[in-house]
A = this chain, B = another copy of it.
């Protein structure tokens, strides 16, 4: 039985579902001669780690108890019974985690799985990569830090996987990596990477005003609590940066031209969210409607996309042919058109749900299984 030791950072929605999937896949993985051995879990308050990381693991009952506690929004510290586990307070997490990485990295192997949304993990991840560990990310932040930190993080490219950072579990990163590795140069990616903005842009075609579409998206639960977090485009920009860097573009987040769908004077520091929804948004309807009419008179539609080409990377509204894959897109699916030598006239298209904790966690688990050959 091959063993894959894991340390999980972040037990929010994605992290919890990952633990669930790991436990429910035990019979499947056992048939494949594989055991995912969770040696530690970590939230923002503390790290809980098994007393002997070489031979012991957090058992499945304990992992399910972690899920229960975290689904209540409580901290790991409220767990009732830590058994023989070591509980490390947040100040010591980095030291203890890197100690474990140093012990296991080059012996049994160890995968650090980052399902947090923290920008603080990148330093630790870079340390553990240097200690021979693997890294699997659902967290976009470490990959969108400075180029210097990025280069360290991906210095062992076989030891890092991050499918779920773009399009949740959609096989985007894996597919791009395949193309890059076999020398099929990708010269253009254009993609709708926000379910929220995809929904809003395609609903506009039904003639409803922008403000109404955004409010509808909010009631459907598609948006962040403050829809400006979606409308500003920064989440799309992060995903675009991750893809652009995969293709070898030497960019930082600030090099990406990002179009915000609301003006500065309606920003979160200027206007409460309720005020924005009721009074701000309707002021934007006319401008957007004019752009739609203009696009429509050219036989085109508007989509909020990332565009990665030889001239760099930008994020915003583009006018696209009605009968292109992106032009035909409806609803909240993500969709990428990828153009390369092999897909020069007609793109490679990948489409599907690009959000959701279940899909995201499934992508993380597939990544973990993908690195199994690196473990002894």
Interface of A toward B, CB cutoff 8 Å = 21, 24-25, 28, 32, 157-158, 163, 169-171, 174-175, 178-179, 181-184, 323, 325, 328, 330-331, 333, 341-343, 346-353, 356, 358-359, 362-363, 365-366, 369-374
Q: How far is the CB of A88 from chain B (nearest CB, A)?
A: 29
Q: A358 is contacted by which of B333, B341, B348 (Cβ under 8 Å)?
A: B341
When chains A and B are docked, how far (Å) is the Cα of A318 from the Cα of B266? 51
Closest to A341 in B: B358
Q: A343 is contacted by which of B24, B28, B157, B353 (Cβ under 8 Å)?
A: B353
What B residues does A28 contact at CB under 8 A?
Answer: 181, 183
When chains A and B are docked, how far (Å) is the Cα of A293 from the Cα of B34? 53
In the complex, are the beta carbons of A370 and B171 less than 8 A apart?
A: no
A-B contact pairs, 8 of them (CB 8 A): A158-B372, A175-B175, A178-B363, A182-B369, A325-B351, A342-B353, A342-B358, A349-B350
When chains A and B are docked, how far (Å) is the Cα of A75 from the Cα of B119? 60
On whether A366 and B174 interact (CB within 8 A), knowing A352-B349, A373-B373, the answer reads no
Q: A174 is contacted by which of B175, B331, B351, B352 (Cβ under 8 Å)?
A: B175
In the complex, are the beta carbons of B369 and A181 less than 8 A apart?
A: yes
What B residues does A362 contact at CB under 8 A?
Answer: 179, 182-184, 342
When chains A and B are docked, how far (Å) is the Cα of A336 from the Cα of B225? 35
Q: How far is the CB of A18 from chain B (nearest CB, A)?
A: 10
When chains A and B are docked, how far (Å) is the Cα of A135 from the Cα of B333? 36
What B residues does A171 contact at CB under 8 A?
Answer: 171, 174-175, 178, 348, 350
What B residues does A21 contact at CB under 8 A?
Answer: 182-183
Q: How far is the CB of A210 from chain B (nearest CB, A)?
A: 24
What B residues does A369 contact at CB under 8 A?
Answer: 178, 181-182
Closest to A174 in B: B174
Q: How far is the CB of A135 from chain B (nearest CB, A)?
A: 15
What B residues does A350 contact at CB under 8 A?
Answer: 171, 348-351
Shortest Cβ-Cβ A-B pairs, 3 listed:
A373-B373, A348-B352, A178-B366
Q: How far is the CB of A327 from chain B (nearest CB, A)?
A: 10
When chains A and B are docked, how far (Å) is the Cα of A351 from the Cα of B335? 11
What B residues does A352 contact at CB under 8 A?
Answer: 343, 346-349
Q: How far is the CB of A367 from chain B (nearest CB, A)?
A: 8
What B residues does A359 contact at CB under 8 A?
Answer: 342-343
Q: How far is the CB of A137 from chain B (nearest CB, A)?
A: 16
Highest count of chain B CB atoms <10 Å: which of A163, A325, A328, A366:
A366
In the complex, are the beta carbons of B182 and A348 less than 8 A apart?
A: no
Q: How far is the CB of A68 from chain B (nearest CB, A)?
A: 21
Q: A25 is contacted by which of B183, B351, B363 (Cβ under 8 Å)?
A: B183
What B residues does A358 contact at CB under 8 A?
Answer: 341-342
